[in-house]
Amino acid sequence: MRGQGILCAALAAVLVFSGYQGGDATAASGKPMQTSGTPAVKMPAEQAQAETEKAPAETEPTGEEPVAETPDGMAEELAEEELAEYYGDSVFIGDSIMLGFRNYSAKAETYVHGIQFLAAGSYSAFNALKPVEGKNVHPMYKGEKYQLWDAVPLTDSKRAFILLGMNDISLLGLEGARDAYIELIKKVLETSPDIEIHIVSVTYTLKDEGKKKLNNDNIAKYNVLLQEMAWENGWGYIDLCTPISDGEGNLAAECCSDGFVHLSNSAYAIWEKELIRYANERNLRRVTGTVETAEEMKQKMPADQ
């Protein structure tokens, strides 16, 4: 009987262990340096990519610092200092909406305080492609105007978050604005070939405050073009429009500072939380070695888009 008990215990141990699964380009500190109205994105089926298996660190070293993991292999959320490092290695590029975020970040005491910015009022892809002369609009770095592709290398950034298009839609139309955007980013990649590109969605106007082509229906359609553009080129895409909308495809009243289109500190506080979510998501995919499929991108879009 004692021998049978030992045998049963050994078999139980085998079963248990066999089932175990292991303006001025500056940092904000001043140092130079869903329910929207967007239609669902329809990606071609052949573009969908299956998630890849996580590669063992010892066989495919990445050169990156190890990341803390939970017992089930999922990466823990980034700590404040890790967020500061991630976004401190980033440059945020854009128009007056991004300029507002620069002003918000300058007063913040969180990770966003160290972000670098290349932003200017009335900036656009169309303006960015113009020469640096006269009154042409360009961001400034250490008090001097630069074309974007010349300014980005000066920031020594690993990634660029770009918000452009609001000032292009009326002038170039949806497809034209998208095409100018692509042309601009290609020029940036010529001078900064290793930089990560992350596209930021264009934000809405208050309800019924749109002007001609610059209206919320067109902004929603343009954001779909941007999402498709990001997918096709292997760039990141972050939706900072939907979280500050009113649920009906307009900018929420409490997120507007001027009765039209510019954002309040309440809106930028929401952005700050969304950027944390985005960084954690990107980190998780890095740790697990997975890529985002076209189907996953579609699932992020609200059902009525």
Q: Is residue 226 part of a domain?
A: yes
Interval 106-136: pLDDT, tens: 999 999 999 999 999 999 999 999 999 999 9
Structurally, how many domains does the chain consist of? 1
Residue 1 lies in a domain: no
In a domain, 18, yes or no: no
Q: What is the pLDDT of residue 68?
A: 42
What's the token pair of residue 185? 């980013």
Structure tokens at 5: 């008990």
The residue type found at 246 is D
Pairing of strands 196-200, 236-238: parallel
Between 55 and 104, the higher pLDDT residue: 104
Average pLDDT in the 286-295 region? 69
CB 89 within 8 A of CB 152: no
- Give the chain's length: 305
pLDDT, tens digit (0-9, with 9 covering 90-100), for 156-177: 999 999 999 999 999 999 999 9
CATH code where residue 98 lies:
3.40.50.1110
The DSSP bridge partners found for residue 117 are: 26, 92
DSSP H helical ranges for the chain: 2-18, 80-88, 96-107, 125-128, 148-155, 166-191, 216-233, 265-288, 294-300
On whether residue 76 sits in a domain, the answer given is: yes
Whether residue 5 is contained in a domain is answered as no
CA separation for the pair 99, 131 (Å, rounded)? 21
Over the stretch 22-43, which tens digit does the pLDDT of each residue have? 355 655 544 443 433 444 444 4
Give φ, ψ of 71 to 5 degrees. Answer: -55, -30
Mean pLDDT, to the nearest integer, of 259-279? 98
Domain containing residue 107? 24-300
Mean pLDDT of the chain: 81
* Alpha-carbon gap, residue 198 to 201, rounded angstroms: 10
* Domain assignment present for 9: no
Q: Output the pLDDT for position 27.
A: 59
Rounded CA-CA distance 76/279 in Å is: 12
Distance CA 85, CA 190 (A): 25
Spacing of C-alpha 82 from chain mean position: 17
**Dihedral sign for Cα atoms in the order 94, 254, 219, 280:** positive
- Least Cα distance to 163 among 91, 228, 104 occurs for 91
Does 223 fall in a domain?
Answer: yes
